[in-house]
Structure 1
Amino acid sequence: MKLRELRAERGVTQDQVADAVQVSKSLIAAFETNRLAPQQDTATALDAFFGTGDEIQKLSTEARKNRKPGPSWFRPWRDVEETAVILRYFQATLIPGLLQTEAYARAIFASTGMLSDDEVAERVANRLERQSAILDRADRPTFAFIIDAAALRCGPPEIAKDQLLHLADTSARSNILVHVVPDSAGLHPGRNGSFALANMDTGSAVGLLDDFYEGRVIAEPMRVTGLERTWQTIAGFALPCDQSRDLISKLVNDYDDPATKLAQVQP
């Protein structure tokens, strides 16, 4: 990508470019090393910033033609995410990938202990690129996220608080619904694992099941129907959007409560 050359010519830093086009520094670094190609809106913003007409847009379009970031097993689901009209995600233990902050995603990948610093950086960049590509789609699909309350309390305080603030901000978008399953729900089908569902404009639906090593796309009608039934059951335990947002806000406020801070450091 010509981005590094342009940046050197203009004498600007990665941070300055990132701020100008409203993406993270990690994404700018990934663009410069050809690990990722900017999406159309980001490429347009970069052309405007550098005054390069549509040069970066053309380069990014060509680079994206035969390449999707992320592991090979995930690419079919990326195709689904880019065309679905309704996307639903249930997460039992973590904040969904599409709603993660950069710091939270980095902590998740680093916690495996099996990735080098460069591999962690690349995976974080891939995740941020996916967020930009899917959440900011021009045709505005409907997103619904159900998150178990336990996932909201996962992570060190300095990361978790910012993650919850980001979650609350994102849930304010009109096409993004965030529901929380409270602790009072007890045992429910979602305890069996996380999954996602996508409805296409053709009327068909597909699912994605998480695994320890990788996920798999589910297209068999009977299995998709099973995921649909599980989703509906979990949704019955979840709080409405406004109450979910209130719970998230309460957890944010708890991080500023001295009593809560003291409890967090107790053995």
Structure 2
Amino acid sequence: MAKTESGIWFIRMMLRTGREAMGKTQGQVARQCHLATDTYRAYEAGRASPPAKNIEALARACGHSEEKAQYMVKAALGRAEGEALEAEMRYNALFIALAERYYGIFFKFDALLVPGLLQLQQYHYTVARLAEPGTDEWVDRGWEFKEERQHAVEDRSDRPAMQFMIGETALLQLRMISEPLYQDQLRHLRRWAKKPGVFVRVLRGPVPAHQSGFSIYLPGESAVAGPPIAYTEIADSSWLIDDPTRIERYDDLRKKLWKKAIRIEVYNDDDWRYRLA
């Protein structure tokens, strides 16, 4: 399989965003890592890829934690072989968060939960917590991460094209848990659908398990996006896929399901009790 550029993109964007958050210049990071400034600039520009043995030091100089540094090494090594990057969801979520900040087009589908970018805080603590139980600290960190991603997307100066498709099951379950929260979340989804470039749809009917959740990220008109990526997950792992043939299959599925889905602006669920019976 041919090499891809997604690993290089991820590394350089992690370096750039971390360095800028710390208020450091490229020269300062280079000196801290005993590199020529031009060498470091080439890493951030994507003209060169840092050796895996140097990534941990670069990551630390740019303010990233040891866990993030290890994931950056894993991403660099995995992508060098052109393979899908398999990792725990919380690690591949770092890649997804960057993609949400810089890609020009993305699509997200979840048959059982409202996508994280569209969740209200109460939804996270009431519904998502039931789906993914954990300690209070773990749940709090999960919301902080979602909130950071939400703000990052809302603060973008460009207008990415965003498609969100939610399985009706997610909304029916929410309504059984809390009618007031259901109404609040529905209003929130409709507010999002009014934003430029944002489309939200609800997919009725059962969905095969292997098709029940995936995302696609495309560069679009963004000058700083990476190559096309598809993301999917199972109980104990997740994958970032950059094989063009496989991404095309995911995109074909996206088009097929999207045509069946209902725009959130006209979605009505008055007969929900009947259909649950």
Q: Shorter-normalised TM-score: what interval? A: 0.5 to 0.7
Match of 2:21 among 47, 61, 66: 61
Q: Distance in 2 between matches of 1:122 and 1:170?
A: 24
Structure 2 unaligned spans of 5+: 1-16, 25-61, 69-88
- Give the equivalent residue in structure 2 for 1:144: 163
| Greater relative contact order structure (CA < 8 Å, 6+ sep) | 2
3-state DSSP class of the match of 1:245? Answer: coil
User: How is 1:48-87 mapped onto 2 (pairs within 5 angstroms)?
Assistant: 61-62=21-22, 65-67=62-64, 71-87=90-106
Match of 2:190 among 168, 176, 184: 168
**Are the equivalent residues in 1 in contact too, given 2:159–2:196 (CA < 8 A)?**
no
Q: Which stretch of the first structure deviates more once superposed, 73-82 or 109-118?
A: 109-118
User: How is 1:6-155 mapped onto 2 (pairs within 5 angstroms)?
Assistant: 61-62=21-22, 65-67=62-64, 71-112=90-131, 114-155=133-174
What amino acid maps onto 2:91 in structure 1?
Answer: S
- Give the equivalent residue in structure 1 for 2:241: 218
Matched, 1:229 2:252: yes
3-state DSSP class of the match of 1:128? Answer: helix
Deviations 1:208-244 (A, max 9, x none): 10222343211111211110111111112123x3xx3
What amino acid maps onto 2:218 in structure 1?
Answer: N
3-state DSSP class of the match of 1:228? Answer: helix
1:188 Cα shift?
A: 5.1
3-state DSSP class of the match of 2:266? Answer: helix
1:159 Cα shift?
A: 2.2
1:191 Cα shift?
A: 6.5
Matched, 1:246 2:269: no
3-state DSSP class of the match of 1:139? Answer: coil
Q: 1:105–1:141: structure 2 CA closer, same or farther, 3 Å change rule? A: same
3-state DSSP class of the match of 2:173? Answer: coil
Deviations 1:52-88 (A, max 9, x none): xxxxxxx992189544999222212222222110011
- Give the equivalent residue in structure 1 for 2:204: 182
Q: Distance in 2 between matches of 1:198 and 1:114?
A: 28
User: How is 1:190-201 mapped onto 2 (pairs within 5 angstroms)?
Assistant: 192-200=211-219, 201=222
Q: Distance in 2 between matches of 1:86 and 1:191?
A: 23
3-state DSSP class of the match of 1:173? Answer: coil
Q: 1:63–1:94: structure 2 CA closer, same or farther, 3 Å change rule? A: farther
What amino acid maps onto 1:231 in structure 2?
Answer: R
3-state DSSP class of the match of 1:74? Answer: helix
Q: Distance in 2 between matches of 1:203 and 1:106?
A: 33
Deviations 1:234-257 (A, max 9, x none): 112123x3xx3121xx34xx5xxx
Q: Distance in 2 between matches of 1:203 and 1:116?
A: 35
Q: How many residues align?
A: 193
Deviations 1:189-220 (A, max 9, x none): 68622000011147941111022234321111
Deviations 1:87-131 (A, max 9, x none): 111111111111000010112342157411121111111111111
Q: Distance in 2 between matches of 1:141 and 1:218?
A: 21
What amino acid maps onto 1:105 in structure 2?
Answer: H
Q: 1:127–1:199: structure 2 CA closer, same or farther, 3 Å change rule? A: same
Q: Distance in 1 between matches of 2:256 and 2:211?
A: 13
Q: Distance in 1 between matches of 2:215 and 2:132?
A: 26
Q: 1:227–1:113: structure 2 CA closer, same or farther, 3 Å change rule? A: closer
**Are the equivalent residues in 1 in contact too, given 2:111–2:169 (CA < 8 A)?**
yes
Q: Distance in 2 between matches of 1:114 and 1:203?
A: 33
- Give the equivalent residue in structure 2 for 1:14: none
TM-score, structure 2 normalization: 0.60
3-state DSSP class of the match of 2:194? Answer: coil
**Are the equivalent residues in 2 in contact too, given 1:92–1:191 (CA < 8 A)?**
no
TM-score, structure 1 normalization: 0.62
The CA RMSD measured in Å over matched residues stands at 3.4
